[in-house]
């Protein structure tokens, strides 16, 4: 069974903007199915495309199956079957044995920056960079699938 163990954090905007970092890559992703127990996502990046099936999150863990698919087919799936979509720029930052994936959201989610780190176990420790803010692991509103339905621009903060 495929499994993802991931923790999610908000990012200090000012510290992120001041950081020297690698170039980010544009992602388009849409959802063919979103419900509290499972999602089916299609993602197109500059070099690849994926079909991803995710299960219910329990803590920082959930089932995940991800398959690379042809980019033209992924675009067709998004254009013809996507219920909701979002766009973001993702930047990968390596720190020791881990890689932080930092998403700078666009469109209706502009202004939101979220960092994720994948782990081998929920209790695994890792260094937290100074540009990381509050942890939001398990907070449903930060799931990408929920951001497509209830975008950041509509939140009362």
Domain boundaries, the chain: 3-154
Please give the Cα distance from 62 to 102 (Å, whole number). Answer: 20
With residue 71 as reference, give the H or E element that holds it.
Answer: helix 71-81
Range 3-154 classified under CATH 3.40.640.10? no
Gyration radius of the chain over CA positions: 15
Residues of the chain with pLDDT under 70: 1
pTM: 0.95
Is 31 a known active-site residue? Answer: yes
Please give the Cα distance from 71 to 45 (Å, whole number). Answer: 8
For the segment 112-137, what is each residue's pLDDT rounded down to a tens digit? Answer: 999 999 999 999 999 999 999 999 99
Q: State the catalytic residue, choosing from 31, 65, 67, 143.
A: 31
């Amino acid at each position: 069974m495929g499994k993802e163990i991931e923790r999610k954090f908000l990012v200090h905007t000012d510290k992120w903007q001041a950081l020297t970092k690698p170039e980010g890559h544009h992602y388009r992703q849409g959802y063919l199915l979103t419900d509290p127990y499972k999602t089916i996502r299609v993602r197109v990046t500059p070099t690849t495309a994926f079909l991803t099936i995710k299960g219910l999150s329990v803590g920082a863990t959930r089932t995940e199956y991800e398959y690379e698919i042809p980019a033209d087919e992924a675009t067709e799936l998004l254009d013809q079957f996507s219920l909701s979509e979002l766009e973001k720029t993702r930047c990968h930052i390596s720190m020791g044995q881990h890689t932080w994936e930092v998403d700078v959201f666009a469109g209706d989610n502009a202004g939101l920056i979220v960092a994720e780190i994948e782990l081998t176990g929920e209790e695994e420790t890792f260094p937290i960079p100074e540009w990381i803010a509050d942890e939001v692991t398990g907070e449903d509103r930060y799931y990408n699938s929920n951001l497509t339905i209830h975008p950041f621009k509509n939140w009362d903060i």
